[in-house]
Amino acid sequence: MTDKPKSDKRQELEAQAAEHGVAFDDKTTNKALEEAILEAMEAAEAKPDAENAAAEGGDEPEQLPPLEGIHNKLVAYGIAKEECPDNMEECESLLKQVLAARAKAAEKRKQKDEGDYYGKFVKVRVTKLGDGKIGTGRYIAGIGNMCYSAGDTISKCPLLSAEALEAKGFAEIVG
C-alpha cells in the first residue's frame, strides 16, 4: 500500500493542530480536525495566559500602598480623610489610639450591661439535665460543638451565665 501525499490543506491543519496542542492521527478527518482546532482556540481565548492575567489584574487582588491601607482603616473608624497624617509613623500611632479608644469603649459598654455581675466568676457543676447542652466553646470539624457532660465542673463561669444555667437546672453553683 502506498501512502497518498498529504494535501496542502491537510498539512496546514496538522500544523495548526500541533501549534494548539490538538491530538490527531491519520484516521482523523479534516472536518474533525478543524473542529478540534477551533475548540482549542476558543479555550485558549477564554483562559488568559499568565502574562495577560498579570497585566489585566488576574487572580491576585490589587495591593494598596501601606499608607493608603492605614488611611482606609482610619476612615472606616470615623476619622475624616483630611485628618489622616501623611507620615506612616503618625498614621500607625493614630490607628493604635483609635483602636485603644474603641476597646476601652467596648469594655465600658460591657461593664454597663453586666452591672453588678461585671468581672465576677464562679465555679459550677453540670447536672444531668445539662448533660450535652452546655457548650465548651470548642468545635470539632465533622462532629460539631463539644459540650460538657453531667458531673463536669466549669472552673471560671461568669456569674450571670451561672445563674441562668442554674435557673434552667443545667448546672449548680458550687463556689
- Joined together, the cell numbers standing for residue 13 give 491543519
Distance CA 83, CA 71 (A): 10
Higher-pLDDT residue of 18 and 169 is 169
pTM over 0.85: no
Extents of the domains making up the chain: 8-54, 66-114, 120-173
> Please, which residues have CB within 8 angstroms of residue 154's CB and are 6 or more apart in sequence?
123, 124, 125, 126, 134, 148, 171
Distance CA 147, CA 138 (A): 8
105-122 mean pLDDT: 84
Residue 58: which pLDDT band, with cuts at 50, 70 and 90?
Answer: low
CA 1 to chain centre: 65
The more confidently predicted of residues 122 and 1 is: 122
Provide the pLDDT for residue 128: 95
Flag the least confident range among 56-60, 75-79, 129-133: 56-60
Q: What is the pLDDT of residue 71?
A: 85
List the one residue out of 62, 173, 59, 56 whose CA is nearest residue 123: 173
**Confidence (pLDDT) at 131:** 95
Reply yes or no on whether the pLDDT at 52 is more than 70.
Answer: no
Name residue 45's amino acid: E
Distance between first and last Cα of the chain: 100
Report which of residues 37 and 52 the model is more confident about: 37
Residue 146 and residue 102 in contact, taking contact as beta carbons nearer than 8 Å: no
Confidence class of residue 82 from pLDDT cuts 50, 70 and 90?
Answer: confident
